Every structure is written in C-alpha cells, then in structure tokens.
Amino acid sequence: MSESSKRQNSMACRLSDNEKAIVDNYLEKYQIKNRSRWFREAVLTHIYRIKEADYPTLFDEYTMRR
C-alpha cells in the first residue's frame, strides 16, 4: 500500500445487542473473517449507490415522468 493510501482515520459506531447479533450471524453465515474490510466496503458501496442515483438532472423527477 502506498503512503498516500494508508488508512489513518478511524470511525466507530455503537450497536444494540440485537443489532450486534444480526451482524455476527451474517458474518458467520458468509464466513467473513475481516470485519473491518466488510464494514468499510458495505458502507462505501451504499454511499456510492446513493450518490450515483442522486446525480443532478436538468429536470425534476415529476417533470421527467410526465
């Protein structure tokens, strides 16, 4: 990994016991060993999809659907 792409920032979130159990079951079911990588990819994939769908258009959605 190059110097400029090293991950130096961290983020944290808190989960309820139920939410943690859901995540743990998912990771076990799909045999995901690297939790950090999975979490990072899941969050970034979600953000990229939202940004892709939210690009600026010339007309609003109502006008385009008419």
Asked if residue 25 is part of any domain, the answer here is yes
Predicted confidence band of residue 63 (pLDDT cuts 50, 70, 90): confident
- Asked if the structure places residue 2 within a domain, the reply is no
pLDDT given at position 1? 61
In this structure, is residue 50 part of a structural domain? Answer: yes
Give 1-15 pLDDT, tens digit per residue: 666 688 899 999 999
What value does the mean pLDDT take over residues 36-61?
88
Task: Examine residue 9 and state whether it is found in any structural domain, yes or no.
Answer: no
40 part of a folded domain: yes
Give the residue numbers spanning the domain of 34. 15-65
Mean pLDDT, residues 10-22 taken together? 96
The number of domains in the chain is 1
pLDDT surpassing 90 at residue 60: no
Q: Determine the Cα–Cα distance for residues 57 and 64; give it in Å rounded to an integer.
A: 10
Q: CB–CB of 35/28 below 8 Å?
A: no
Report how far Cα 35 is from the mean position of its chain's Cα atoms: 13
DSSP string across 25-38: HHHHHTT---HHHH
Among 24, 29, 54, CA closest to 39: 24
